[in-house]
């Protein structure tokens, strides 16, 4: 179970960093996608990417993993909604998987924090 938990947060961290870098580098597909679907400005897309990047980094450290998984989950959820809005239903369901993974990571971290408090 510990290996699956570790694999989950490692994959999420990589996903957050990669998704954030793509937006911060203003990759044309990322820019067009968010500009067309939501009307985001280039600066807002870059800021959104920075938030994803930072939340991905937060996943690496135990002390910030809960906050990182919550923030990353929210940004991935927004991306998932945009995908559904664009009419790509199949990819929308596929992109919901990392949202669920982030929710699982947050739940695990929360439960571990509760357990640690009870044992003190």
> What single string gives the DSSP state of each residue in 27-71?
-HHHHHHHHHHH---HHHHHHHHHHHHHHHHHTTSGGGHHHHHHH
Structure-model confidence comparison of residues 50 and 88, the more confident one? 50
pLDDT at residue number 118 = 87
Mean pLDDT rounded to a whole number for the chain: 92
Give the count of beta carbons closer than 10 Å to the beta carbon of residue 74. Answer: 15
Q: Taking residues 16-33, what's their average pLDDT?
A: 92
Instruction: Using the predicted structure, report yes or no on whether residue 102 has a pLDDT greater than 90.
Output: yes
């Amino acid at each position: 179970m510990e290996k699956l938990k570790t694999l989950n947060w490692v994959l999420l961290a990589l996903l957050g960093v990669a998704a954030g870098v793509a937006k911060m580098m203003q990759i044309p597909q990322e820019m067009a996608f968010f500009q067309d679907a939501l009307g985001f400005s280039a600066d807002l897309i870059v800021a959104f990417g920075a938030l994803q990047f930072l939340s991905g980094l937060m996943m690496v450290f135990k002390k910030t993993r809960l906050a990182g998984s919550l923030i990353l989950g929210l940004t991935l959820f927004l991306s998932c909604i945009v995908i559904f809005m664009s009419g790509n239903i199949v990819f929308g369901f596929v992109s919901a998987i990392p949202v669920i993974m982030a929710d699982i990571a947050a739940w695990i971290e929360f439960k571990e924090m509760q357990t640690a408090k009870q044992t003190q």
